Every structure is written in C-alpha cells, then in structure tokens.
C-alpha cells in the first residue's frame, strides 16, 4: 500500500490514534468535485423568488409606499412592506441591550424610517428571481431624507441625528472596565506614552456564498421550514420565535454545505423572519439568494472601533504597566448581536501581556451604516490590534527592541494558568518560544541585515513586524450579563448524538453548522478512536437538521470552540455508545463487560479472539431481535446516545465585570516582512510566517488550513479591504470592483509551524482555534511601522491603502502630526 | 429578468449589422459582452436589440502589412492576442497587455474592439493604443473612415463612434528597433483595476527623438502629457533626465478622486508611473536593442 497515493489507507496501518492525524477531510471529495449542496441548490415545489427592496438613503423617513405597480406585473405573487410585516408579528426582536437601547424596536423590515443605505423596506415575491427584481423596481417609495451620522465617535455627541428616537440616544451601551489602578500607574510610571487616536476599520469576510434561504410557512401544520446557510440556526430560531409567534418546535431549520460564513452569517435573522412572513402571506414557499452587492451593503460588516486618548504607563526597564483609553465601537444601524461586542473583547483584556492596570471606557454607538455582527476575530481582534499597536509604539518611542519588549512583558510559560486582571484564566502556552519560532521561520535575521543594507531613500524599504495574538475560544455566555445583568444566559456547550444504525453503521450528528471547518472529519476521528473503527466507517451527518440533530441553545459553528465543545460532545456520546455496545456484545458472547473490547467494528473477547460479534449483530439484537435480550438490557440500551458537553463555568460578577469569560486561549504569533515602495506607498509582503499553539491538534492539516485562512483575511484587510461611507452615508465599495478581496494572487506564501500546549481545562487538551485573533493585521501594521522614520507619524489605522502608507512615509517631511507623545520622568533611557 | 428583456440578433456581415443599427435606435453592438452585459445587469443603460458581432469573420483577423504595421480585427479576443505569434513577434506589448487583463474567463471573451469602444477609464488598451499612435478603422453605410486613437476617446463611455458605425479594426504602426514601449500600472492588489496607469512610446537614438507619454485613470480618457514629452525630447534619457521630465506633471492637472485614491495622490502617482513607463521604454531600446 503506497503511502503517497492514499493517505487514508496508508495511515491506517501505522497509527495508534486517529486524533492528531492530518487525514484528508471527509468533506473534500464532494466539495472539490462540485457535488456539495449549497443554499442555491435547494428548492421546494411551488416556490416563488424573493427580492428585497432596499433603501437608497442612509437615513430617511418613509413617507409612502405604493406597491400596486409591482402587483400589477404578471407573475408577481405578493409584496410585503414593513408596516404589514409588523402587524403580523407579536413583538419586536429580542433585545440584548439594557437601558435606553432596550427601547429600540427592530422588526423584520424597516418601519417608518430607514436607517442605512440597504435597509430593507419591502420584499417582493414572484415566479422568477428576475421578475421579482423587476417588480421591486416598480414599487414607488417616497422618502424624506434626514441627516446621517457615519462616524462612531460623532454619533455619541448630542448634536448627532438620532437613529432610534425611542432610545433618545445613539449610545447603545456604555461600560467602564477598570482594573488595577491606572491613575496610580500613570502617576508613578517612568514614562507615559500618549497616543491620540487609533482606528480599527470596517471590513467583512465576504464568504464566497452569500446568505440565502428557502422558507415555507405551512399554515395547516403551523410548521415553518427554513433551509438556510445561517451558521447558528437555533440562535436565529430563538430570536425569531417570539417575534413571529412560532414555538421552537414548529420551526424546522436545516442546512447543508455552507460556502463560508466567518461569523457574518449570524446576523441575518431579520431577513429570515421577513421571508417567513412573506411565505405565510403568499401561501407558498419562498426562495431568496442574496446578491453580492446586497451582501456588501446590508448583510454584515465587522466592528469598526476608534480608540481615543490612549495613555500607557511604562517603567524604565520596559515593563508596561497597563493602559487607558476611550473606545467607540461603531455598530451600525441596528443591534443584531450587539452590544455583546462590548464585553467580548475583554476576554483578552491584557492581550498576551502581564498588564495590570487597565481602564477602558467603552461605548457602542449606532450609526447610519450597515449593522455589524460577528466577523472572524469578533471584537477581540480590534482590542488585540490596539494592544499590539501600543506595544510597538512604546518600543519605538522609548527605544526598545519590539521583540525584546514583547518577551519582557509576555505572560511567561511558568505563569499558566494565568489569571488576568478581570478574572479570565489563560490556560497554557509558550509565547516567547512561539515568537522565536516565528522569527526563525520568517528568517528575520536575514531580513534585518537586508533592511540595514537597503536603508532608506533608495526606492524600497524593508520592514519587519510581528503580531502576538490570542484566539479565545468557548465563551462563557454569562459575560452577556456584564452588558445586561437581566439576561438569563451563562455557560456554554454543545450536543452530539452517536448512534449504531440498523445494520451496525456508526453515525454521529452534531449541533453545529460547519462552513469549511471540517467537522465531519474531526468528529469521525474522535469517535473512531473511542469506538475503535476507522474514521471511514463513521458517518457524520452533513450540515444540521433541527428534526434529527441534537442541539442546545448555544449550538452552531462560531467563536472558535468546536474542538472543545463540539468534540467534547462527540466524545461523550461515543463513550456512551461504546459502553452500550460492550454491554450488548458481552451479553451476546456470554462474557462480562470487562472481558470484551472493540476492534475494527467487532466486539471481541479479550482472551479468545475467536469469540466475537460484529456491530451488525449488536444492532440486530437491539433493533430487530430484542426478545433474546434481558428486560434489563432492553431497558438500558438504545444505541442512540446523546451527550451534552458543558464547560465548567460560573456566572461572572457583573458589578466588577470580573470572571472567567472563556475556557481556552490559543495563541498565534505572526511575523511579516514587507517591502514598501517609497514612491507610491505600495506594500508587498516578502515573507510571512505564523506559529500556532492551539493545544492538542485533532487534525493538524485542518488547523493549518485555518491558520492560512485567518492570515489571508487579515492581510487582505490590512492592505486591500475596507468599507468606507461618504458623509451622506453612501457605501463607497458596494461591489467587488471597489472592494478588492484578497485572492490567491495577493496572499503570499505562508510558512507555518506550531507548538502544542495542551489545555488543562478541556476533555481532549485541544483549544478552540480558527478565528486567529487578527494576527495578520497586527503583523502587517507593525511591519509598515518598521519602515517609517522616527519623525514620521505612527501607523494609526488598521487599513493601510497605498495612499495612506504614502502619506505616512511623507508625514515627517510634511511635519504632519505624529499622533503620539511621550512624557518621561527619568532621564537616560 | 436579470437583464430587462431584450431582442438578440446575429447578423451575417458587418454591412448587415450596420443596417440593423441604422434601422433601430435602441440597437447596440455586442462583442465580448464582458462590460455591456454587466452594464445591462446593473440597469444603468437599456438596450432594445443586441447585435452580436463577436463571431463575424470580417472582424476576426490579425494581419501584418508590408510596412511592419499590423491590423487587428475588432473582435479579436485578449486571449487570441496573447496567443498570436504574429503579435508576439512584431508588437509584443499588445500581447503582454492582453494577457494581463483580469482573469482567463474575461480574456476568453473580451475583445480589443470592445475594450476601446467602451471607453472606460480603467480599461487597459486605450492608453497603450494612444501611445502607439494606432488608427481606428471605422465602418458605416457610407464607407470607411480613420480616426487616430488620440482622437477616438471622447469622454467617459464616449468615443468617436457615431450612430450606425462599427469599429472594424485597429491599425498599429510598426515598432522599429529604436522604439521602446513602456506600460506601468499602480493597482490595489494583483488583479484589480488600476489607480493610475501610464504608457510611453519612446524613439531613441542616443537622445530621445520623440516621445509619447500617456496617462490613464487620472481623467475620463487617456491623455498625452505633452509638457513631459517635450521635456524628454533631445534628452539623453538618463534616469535623472526622465525623473526631471516627469516632475513637470504639475498642479495644472486635476485627476479624479474615488475610493482608491484622492486627486492629489493620483497627481503624484502620475509622475511616478509616467517616469517608470518611460524608463521601461528606454531600457527596452537600450537593453534589448529594440522592443516590439
Ligand atoms: C470583473 C471584470 C473586470 C474587468 N477588469 C478589466 C480591467 O482591469 N481592464 C480592462 O481593460 N477591462 C476590464 N474588464 C472589461 C473587459 O475588458 C471587457 O471585455 C471590455 O471592457 C469590453 O469588451 P467586450 O468585447 O467584452 O465588449 P462588450 O462588453 O460587448 O461591449 C462594450 C461596448 O463596446 C461596444 N462595442 C463593442 N464592439 C464594438 C465595435 N466593434 N464597434 C463599435 N462598438 C463596439 C458595445 O456596444 C458596448 O457599448 C473587466 C470586466 C469584468 C467583467
């Protein structure tokens, strides 16, 4: 058997456990052969096609809507407007925010007012998608435009136009996170580095498959069937149920293959609700496939955050004591998952460092822009970028080597488990070693020498930057109470079912809705080890079906947690199933349970291999031959085993904003070498490396794929991708002509390596990973910084277009404000 | 419909296509469709009849003339240009530019004629053809007329083509050994539209005999920047000479601004790409003893 030609069979001979092997993904055969089924492949008998009518204005009162010209068009089945949709609902969508923002009402379609360009005003159903679009163009809507606010900081000012009058403010949430004693630290530090403003820009992950759904509200049974590529369908169900007046068990959600989501497919439940109502009204199934421009305008953007008045106390030896800042998170026009982002970042409060004194005055503000909801690295990436910018700026201003300064301030290997100032517990890791490995991989010494050789003024400059970041995984949903103490959420978990089917087939199903993370493969690997079969013999159900799959309220694929929660559930379920198989097998062989074991699909006597019964025989006894079993065994065994994994969390202390907010902390160190063109500001990446430590890796090839993906998205965000609005609230990048997505042509070769620091807190030593903590954004920004002169401005934005880099290169010569100042109380350093 | 419903005809000859254009005001020529279909999809223009000329043999040829010039039929695709031995041997830069337009799917269908007739400031061929001083051969019911590329581009999505006219072919003068051509773009990412672009044609004989420097993406149509051409003429084309010549691109010049660059940045970048395009052209003559 050739190892090269068939990895799957070849490894079978050699391995002792499947866990830890980079076996090819079960999903790949169908996906690479174009045999996946995505949302646009789905359909129902008699379906119509939906088209959303979207506002061209950023902010306007809806004066009137005349749908009659659309209805007059042949083939148009129905039109639903915001007012009518509201009248069909029981209540507005569930509100997470407390206080003023708890009065904000969001309905499936805009009612009375539109609040961003792309806000859905009505939805049309017709016999073809194109006809629906034609009809949508005929709807006559009169708008009374209002002034728009497009800046997250300005939105908080009293002069700003208010988006939601019922709240009376654009500040959706404000909280002060204050740990240690920052005032003391600022008074006693040897240096205080002040940075005026840092801005983390708006972008999104633009999955190759946009959102979509086929929805049928069956009036007879009351069942609302929803095929969709939503990545957290039962979360959508919890939001939609009370609004639509549909009990959870009258929803029938399902998904199959999903062409990427990255968090951006959590926020579109209002669209799903509108489609459900449209189906109810029209009395037929409704199919909706989001267009690219629709996706860019109105699906989901990532959080844009501005940090003001950053002050960093630093001791003469380089010890950074902490920092303070005011943060304004621009969450767009509606609160779809927000203001949860207001606490999520605090999972990584001090970043990779032993910072003790931290104060962040955080506001989430509403603006006339596309609503945000989670996007790969959600809310932590923004904060980690801030910290990486702080560390690099401190190094540069005070004359430290940025590498050595990091190492000095890192949480050290012997510090784990490390409690952060806000009560989070970093589980394990070795940051200094990861950093050394990344530098070696990227050949930093070689590039340092080249950089010196090349110098400045010769047309090209070289810069080297690193990004140290954390990928916190397995949220404690109790942190939501720090936003709103009334919220009945805490803990986390996931469900799985392991089952022996009628002819002895092993089947696993999950509560998750994967979008490329390879859950079928890793679930099979883990179950295979426990049941002692090959992963080829474990069928993992594709996608999610509410009717068949097990789930809990947290189920879904999001937030770097599957390796812990999902596989924790698979392990528990597989162990239960193993127990039952052993029990039935032992009975059938006339042995006791501890005298038998499982081997390659058979239950066999440990002492006498000739005595065995295959899984099919065991299935037969339970499913179709149960009179031969004892009544006790019949009672005990079902061969369908559900297990819910729950992490050991407690409810955080909401007054102190203190508690363990996440179970695991994977780390990633990125290192990047850039070449900057002095004449144009163009940035080219010459070398790139990432070192990942996500504890025990279940499937190293999948881990590596995730590292590549996160690096690619981060590089593209840092250099190419940005959503900008003009002052009237018009999106300037509504298509891929303007929004240049980083492709294989742009993303450099990425060298990867790893450390495995097993998590002591998880059932398998694994840590959640995948989001990647924005490591590439940090590294690229820091590398650009490294090309600049001492009197140039600092890199102040996470997005660096050629023009912005060009301006930075010229800033010293133009005597532009540098954006940073230092107050020193000691001399000589 | 995805496109508003539209009639489609495939004429047998250029003459017949012209007849259809003349008898129907709402008719439009369809070549590769890589821009027109998108325009219709976005519903920024409407058309009653699409007149598909993509397969007309009369528009699908590449021929060399005894004087070394070539004539390229309007419906030759980018991919065909890139695979034409004739083009590679006599007008290499045309093949190179064709091979760098977007992706293979677009190169399979997009045509050099469509690329010019659209007159989109981001399109790749217009500045090159102006720099090479190509001639556009335009056919109508009253016969043929010739327009220099420099006169052909009139404005954003506007050319010298009048109702009832078809661009039949493009004639490109020879590229002798003492001529070099440069083509430089500054773009966001590998395969995206240019922020600023320049193409330069330089005739060199120890000193610069003649130069054409074209800037694109700074205004709706490609523009020759004569002050720079004059500054180059007679110079010995050292990098310093070229940089000095480029520095005359000045404040008289008000480039467009959009999400990829401010007007001021574009002006400064125009100097850089123009300089680099001329450098490339000069290096081709000096380094390789002549370029195509
Ligand atoms: C995603 C994408 C990215 C692109 N990026 C680039 C790029 O970076 N650079 C670039 O140069 N191009 C780019 N293009 C455009 C592409 O090159 C088109 O092929 C080109 O603009 C038009 O050529 P066509 O043959 O497809 O013409 P069509 O789209 O068929 O026609 C374009 C226009 O020209 C008219 N027309 C066509 N032929 C004639 C003729 N013989 N006589 C008179 N009028 C005629 C048509 O009526 C129409 O108005 C891109 C296209 C796409 C879809």
Nearest by CB to B259, which of A130, A738, A745? A738
Nearest by CB to B259, which of A129, A733, A743? A733
Separation of A72 CA from ligand 1 center, angstroms?
A: 36
Look at residue A626 and tell me if it is in a domain: yes
Average pLDDT value for chain A: 96
Query: Does A801 contact B4 at a Cβ distance shorter than 8 Å?
Result: no
In order of A464, B183, B215, B231, B272, the CA distances from B203 in angstroms are 42, 15, 18, 14, 20
Give B99's contacts in chain A (Cβ within 8 Å). Answer: none
How far apart (Å, rounded) are the C-alpha atoms in residues A544 and A104? 32
**The predicted structure's pLDDT at residue A391:** 98
Architecture of domain B7-52: 2-Layer Sandwich (3.30)
Query: Does B1 contact A742 at a Cβ distance shorter than 8 Å?
Result: no
Residue numbers of B between 234 and 263 with CB closer than 8 Å to A: 258-262
How far apart (Å, rounded) are the C-alpha atoms in residues B174 and B177? 10
| Token pair belonging to B107 | 């190169």
How far apart (Å, rounded) are the C-alpha atoms in residues A470 and A428? 11
**The predicted structure's pLDDT at residue A801:** 97
Q: Considering A645, A660, A682, which residue would you say is the last residue of a domain?
A: A645
Q: Is the pLDDT of residue A220 over 70?
A: yes
Separation of A54 CA from ligand 1 center, angstroms?
A: 29
Q: Is the pLDDT of residue B268 over 90?
A: yes
Q: Whose CA is nearest to atom 9 of ligand 1?
A: B123
Are residues A682 and A586 part of one domain? Answer: no
- The tens digit of pLDDT for each residue in A505-523 reads 999 999 999 999 999 999 9
Q: Is the pLDDT of residue B45 over 90?
A: no
Ligand 1 cavity residues, CB under 6 Å: B 28-36, 38, 74, 101-102, 106, 109-111, 113-115, 117-118, 120, 122-124, 161, 166-167, 193
**The predicted structure's pLDDT at residue B288:** 57
Domain with CATH 3.30.465.10 in chain B: 57-172
- The tens digit of pLDDT for each residue in A242-277 reads 999 999 999 999 999 999 999 999 999 999 999 999
Q: How many CB pairs under 8 A join A and B?
A: 50
Mutation site, B101, B242, B259, B264, interface A, largest A CB count within 10 A: B259
Instruction: Kindly state the helix (H) or strand (E) to which residue B215 belongs, with its residue range.
Output: strand B207-216
Are residues A243 and A193 part of one domain? Answer: no
| Token pair belonging to A779 | 């590294």
Nearest by CB to B265, which of A724, A746, A803? A803
CATH number at residue A278: 3.90.1170.50
**The predicted structure's pLDDT at residue B41:** 85
Architecture of domain B57-172: 2-Layer Sandwich (3.30)
Q: Whose CA is nearest to atom 3 of ligand 1?
A: B102
pLDDT band at B110; cut points 50, 70, 90: very high
Query: Does A801 contact B191 at a Cβ distance shorter than 8 Å?
Result: no
Separation of B146 CA from ligand 1 center, angstroms?
A: 21
Are residues A128 and A76 part of one domain? Answer: yes
| Token pair belonging to A145 | 């435009």
Q: Is the pLDDT of residue A159 over 90?
A: yes
Look at residue A157 and tell me if it is in a domain: no
Give B256's contacts in chain A (Cβ within 8 Å). Answer: none
Nearest by CB to A740, which of B192, B261, B269? B192
Q: Is the pLDDT of residue B2 over 90?
A: no
Are residues A65 and A101 part of one domain? Answer: yes
Strands B207-216 and A612-614: unpaired
pLDDT band at A9; cut points 50, 70, 90: very low
Residue of A nearest to B264 (CA): A803
Are residues A392 and A367 part of one domain? Answer: yes
**Which of B50, B110, B116, when mutated, tests ligand 1's pocket best, judged by the most ligand atoms within 8 Å of its CB?**
B110
- The tens digit of pLDDT for each residue in A669-680 reads 999 999 999 999
Looking at domain B179-285, its CATH superfamily turns out to be: CO dehydrogenase flavoprotein, C-terminal domain (3.30.390.50)
**The predicted structure's pLDDT at residue A810:** 97
Look at residue A50 and tell me if it is in a domain: yes
Residue of A nearest to B41 (CA): A130
Give A740's contacts in chain B (Cβ within 8 Å). Answer: 188-189, 192
Q: Is the pLDDT of residue A12 over 60?
A: no
**The predicted structure's pLDDT at residue B1:** 59
pLDDT band at B42; cut points 50, 70, 90: confident
The minimum-distance atom of ligand 1 relative to the CA of B75 is 41
Who's near A625: CB < 8 A, 6+ residues apart?
Answer: none
**The predicted structure's pLDDT at residue B189:** 85
How far apart (Å, rounded) are the C-alpha atoms in residues A312 and A327? 15
Look at residue A406 and tell me if it is in a domain: yes
Range of the domain at A731: 175-204+300-478+652-824
Are residues A322 and A285 part of one domain? Answer: no
Q: Whose CA is nearest to atom 33 of ligand 1?
A: B118
CATH number at residue A628: 3.30.365.10
Q: Whose CA is nearest to atom 11 of ligand 1?
A: B123
The minimum-distance atom of ligand 1 relative to the CA of A736 is 1
In order of A4, A425, A743, B48, the CA distances from A10 in angstroms are 8, 41, 34, 62
Give B262's contacts in chain A (Cβ within 8 Å). Answer: 803
Q: Considering A645, A673, A691, which residue would you say is the last residue of a domain?
A: A645
The minimum-distance atom of ligand 1 relative to the CA of B34 is 26
Query: Does B186 contact A682 at a Cβ distance shorter than 8 Å?
Result: yes
Are residues A402 and A271 part of one domain? Answer: no
Separation of B86 CA from ligand 1 center, angstroms?
A: 23
Q: Which residue has the tokens 């959870």?
A: A248
Q: What stretches of A15-99 show up as alpha helix (H) in DSSP?
A: 28-32, 68-71, 82-87
Are residues A454 and A393 part of one domain? Answer: yes
Taking an 8 Å Cβ-Cβ cutoff, which residues of chain A contact chain B?
A: 128-131, 133-134, 137, 679-680, 682, 719-720, 724, 732-733, 737-738, 740, 742-743, 745-746, 801-803, 806
- Number of domains within chain A: 3
Domain with CATH 3.30.390.50 in chain B: 179-285
| Token pair belonging to A552 | 């809990």
Separation of B118 CA from ligand 1 center, angstroms?
A: 6
Average pLDDT value for chain B: 94
Burial degree of B53 (CB within 10 A; 0-12, 13-18, 19+): buried
Give the pLDDT mean for A85-89.
98
Look at residue A34 and tell me if it is in a domain: no
| High-pLDDT (> 70) share of chain B, % | 98
Are residues A590 and A506 part of one domain? Answer: yes
Residue of B nearest to A738 (CA): B259
Nearest by CB to B272, which of A128, A679, A745? A679
Give the pLDDT mean for A611-616.
98
- The tens digit of pLDDT for each residue in A269-318 reads 999 999 999 999 999 999 999 999 999 999 999 999 999 999 999 999 99
**The predicted structure's pLDDT at residue A829:** 44
Look at residue A539 and tell me if it is in a domain: yes
Who's near A446: CB < 8 A, 6+ residues apart?
Answer: none
How close, in Å, is residue B273 to chain A by CA atoms?
9
Query: Does B186 contact A680 at a Cβ distance shorter than 8 Å?
Result: yes
Give B189's contacts in chain A (Cβ within 8 Å). Answer: 719-720, 740, 742-743, 745-746
How far apart (Å, rounded) are the C-alpha atoms in residues B270 and B249? 8
How far apart (Å, rounded) are the C-alpha atoms in residues B214 and B272? 13
Who's near B85: CB < 8 A, 6+ residues apart?
Answer: none
Look at residue A752 and tell me if it is in a domain: yes
How far apart (Å, rounded) are the C-alpha atoms in residues B122 and B119? 8
- The tens digit of pLDDT for each residue in A363-387 reads 999 999 999 999 999 999 999 999 9
Are residues A292 and A307 part of one domain? Answer: no
- The tens digit of pLDDT for each residue in B120-165 reads 999 999 999 999 999 999 999 999 999 999 999 999 999 999 999 9
Separation of B155 CA from ligand 1 center, angstroms?
A: 16
Alpha carbon A178 to chain centroid, angstroms: 26
Query: Does A803 contact B262 at a Cβ distance shorter than 8 Å?
Result: yes
Nearest to A817 by CA among A808, A827, A826: A808
- The tens digit of pLDDT for each residue in A39-76 reads 999 999 999 999 999 999 999 999 999 999 999 999 99
Nearest to B94 by CA among B109, B118, B116: B116
Are residues A667 and A595 part of one domain? Answer: no
How far apart (Å, rounded) are the C-alpha atoms in residues A572 and A563? 13
pLDDT band at A494; cut points 50, 70, 90: very high
Q: Is the pLDDT of residue B250 over 90?
A: no
Q: Considering A627, A645, A663, which residue would you say is the last residue of a domain?
A: A645
pTM: 0.95
Mutation site, B195, B217, B264, B265, interface A, largest A CB count within 10 A: B265
Are residues A470 and A552 part of one domain? Answer: no
Least confident of A108-122, A201-215, B186-200, B207-221: B186-200
Q: Whose CA is nearest to atom 2 of ligand 1?
A: B102
> What is the ipTM for the molecules in this complex?
0.94
Q: Is the dihedral of CA A606, A609, A615, A621 positive or negative?
A: negative
Query: Does A802 contact B195 at a Cβ distance shorter than 8 Å?
Result: yes
């Amino acid at each position: 058997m050739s190892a090269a030609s068939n990895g799957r069979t070849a490894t079978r001979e050699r391995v002792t456990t499947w866990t830890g092997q980079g076996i090819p993904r079960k999903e790949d055969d169908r996906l690479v052969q174009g045999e996946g089924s995505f949302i646009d492949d789905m359909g129902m008998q008699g379906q119509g096609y939906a088209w959303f009518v979207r506002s061209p204005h950023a902010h306007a009162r809806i004066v009137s809507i005349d749908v009659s010209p659309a209805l007059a068009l042949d083939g148009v089945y129905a039109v639903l407007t915001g007012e009518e949709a509201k009248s069909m609902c029981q209540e507005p969508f569930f509100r997470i925010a407390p206080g003023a923002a708890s009065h904000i009402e969001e309905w499936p379609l805009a009612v009375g007012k539109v609040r961003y360009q792309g806000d859905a005003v009505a939805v049309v159903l017709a016999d073809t998608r194109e006809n629906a679009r034609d009809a949508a163009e005929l709807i006559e809507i009169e708008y009374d435009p209002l002034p728009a606010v497009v800046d997250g900081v300005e939105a908080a000012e009293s002069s700003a136009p208010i988006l939601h009058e019922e709240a009376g403010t654009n500040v959706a949430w404000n909280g002060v996170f204050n740990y240690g004693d920052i005032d003391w630290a600022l008074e006693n530090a040897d240096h205080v580095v002040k940075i005026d403003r840092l801005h983390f820009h708006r972008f999104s992950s633009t999955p190759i498959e946009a959102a979509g759904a086929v929805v049928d509200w069956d009036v007879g049974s009351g069942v609302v069937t929803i095929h969709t590529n939503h990545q957290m369908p039962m979360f959508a169900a919890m939001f939609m149920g009370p609004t639509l007046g549909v009990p959870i068990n009258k929803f029938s959600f399902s998904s199959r293959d999903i062409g990427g989501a990255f968090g951006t497919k959590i926020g579109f439940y209002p669209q799903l609700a509108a489609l459900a109502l449209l189906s109810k009204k029209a009395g037929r199934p409704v199919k909706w496939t989001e267009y690219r421009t629709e996706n860019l305008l109105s699906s989901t953007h990532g959080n844009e955050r501005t940090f003001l008045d950053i002050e960093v106390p630093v001791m003469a030896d380089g010890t950074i004591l902490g920092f303070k800042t005011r943060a304004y998170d621009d969450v767009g026009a509606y609160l779809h998952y927000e203001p949860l982002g207001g606490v999520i970042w605090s999972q990584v409060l001090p970043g990779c460092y032993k910072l003790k004194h931290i104060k962040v005055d955080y506001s989430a503000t509403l603006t006339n822009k596309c609503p945000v909801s989670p996007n790969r690295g959600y809310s932590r990436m923004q904060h980690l970028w801030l910290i990486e910018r702080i560390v690099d700026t401190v190094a540069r201003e005070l004359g430290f080597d940025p590498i050595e300064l990091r190492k000095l301030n890192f949480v050290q290997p012997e510090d784990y488990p490390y409690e952060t100032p806000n009560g989070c517990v970093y589980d394990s890791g070795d940051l200094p070693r990861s950093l050394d490995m990344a530098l070696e991989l990227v050949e930093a010494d070689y590039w340092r020498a080249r950089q010196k050789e090349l110098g400045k003024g010769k047309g090209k400059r070289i810069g080297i930057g690193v990004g140290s970041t954390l990928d916190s995984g397995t949220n404690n949903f109790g942190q939501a109470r720090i936003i709103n103490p009334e919220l009945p959420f805490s803990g986390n978990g996931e469900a799985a079912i392991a089952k022996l089917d009628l002819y002895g087939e092993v089947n696993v199903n999950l509560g998750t809705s994967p979008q490329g993370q390879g859950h079928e493969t890793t679930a099979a690997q883990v179950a295979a080890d426990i049941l002692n079969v090959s992963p080829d013999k474990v069928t993992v159900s594709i996608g999610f079906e509410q009717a068949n799959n097990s789930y809990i309220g947290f189920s879904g694929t999001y937030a770097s947690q599957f390796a812990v929660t999902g596989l924790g559930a698979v392990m528990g379920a597989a162990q239960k199933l193993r127990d039952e198989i052993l029990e039935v097998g032992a009975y059938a062989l006339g042995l006791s349970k501890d005298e038998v074991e499982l081997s390659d699909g058979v239950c066999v006597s440990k002492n006498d291999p000739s005595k065995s019964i295959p899984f099919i025989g065991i299935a037969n006894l339970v499913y179709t031959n149960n009179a031969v079993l004892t009544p006790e065994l019949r009672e005990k065994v079902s061969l369908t085993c559900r297990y819910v994994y729950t992490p050991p969390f407690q409810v955080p202390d909401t007054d102190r904003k203190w508690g363990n907010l996440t179970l695991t902390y994977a780390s990633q160190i990125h290192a990047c070498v850039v070449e900057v063109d002095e004449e144009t500001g163009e940035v080219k990446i010459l070398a790139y490396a990432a070192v990942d430590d996500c504890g025990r890796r279940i499937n190293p090839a999948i881990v590596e794929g995730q590292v590549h993906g996160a690096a690619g998205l981060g590089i593209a965000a840092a250099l190419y991708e940005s959503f900008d609005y003009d002052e009237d609230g018009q999106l300037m990048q509504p298509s891929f002509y303007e929004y240049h997505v980083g492709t294989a042509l742009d993303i450099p070769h990425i060298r990867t390596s790893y450390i495995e620091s097993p998590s002591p807190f998880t059932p398998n030593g694994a840590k959640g990973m995948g989001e990647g903590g924005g490591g590439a954004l940090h590294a690229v920004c820091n590398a650009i910084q490294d090309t600049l002169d001492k009197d140039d401005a600092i890199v102040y934005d996470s997005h660096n277009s050629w023009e912005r880099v060009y301006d930075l290169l010229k800033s010293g010569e133009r005597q532009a404000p540098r954006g940073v100042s230092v107050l020193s109380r000691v001399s000589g350093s | 419909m995805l496109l508003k419903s539209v009639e489609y005809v495939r004429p047998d000859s250029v003459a017949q296509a012209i007849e259809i254009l003349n008898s129907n005001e709402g008719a439009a020529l369809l070549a590769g469709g890589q821009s027109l279909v998108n325009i219709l999809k976005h519903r920024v223009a409407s058309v009653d009849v699409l007149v598909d000329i993509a397969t007309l043999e009369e528009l699908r040829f590449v021929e060399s003339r005894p004087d070394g010039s070539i004539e390229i039929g309007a419906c030759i695709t980018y991919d065909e240009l890139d695979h034409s031995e004739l083009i590679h041997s006599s007008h290499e830069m045309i093949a190179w530019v064709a091979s760098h337009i977007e992706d293979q799917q677009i190169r399979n269908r997009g045509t050099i004629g469509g690329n010019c007739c659209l007159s989109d400031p981001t399109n790749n061929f217009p500045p090159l053809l102006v720099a090479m001083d190509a001639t556009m051969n335009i056919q109508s019911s009253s016969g043929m007329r010739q327009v220099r590329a420099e006169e052909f581009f009139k404005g954003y999505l506007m050319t010298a083509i009048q109702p009832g006219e078809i661009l039949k072919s493009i004639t490109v003068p020879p590229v002798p050994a003492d001529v070099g051509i440069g083509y430089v773009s500054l773009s966001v990412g590998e395969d995206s539209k240019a922020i600023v672009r320049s193409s330069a044609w330089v005739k060199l004989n120890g000193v610069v005999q003649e130069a054409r420097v074209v800037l694109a993406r700074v205004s709706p149509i490609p523009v020759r920047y004569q002050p720079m051409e004059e500054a180059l003429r007679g110079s010995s084309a050292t990098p310093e000479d070229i940089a000095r010549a480029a520095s005359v691109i000045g404040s008289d010049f008000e480039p467009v601004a959009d999400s990829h660059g401010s007007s001021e940045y574009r002006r400064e970048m125009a100097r850089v790409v123009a300089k680099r395009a001329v450098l490339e052209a000069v290096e081709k003559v000096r380094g390789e003893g002549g370029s195509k």
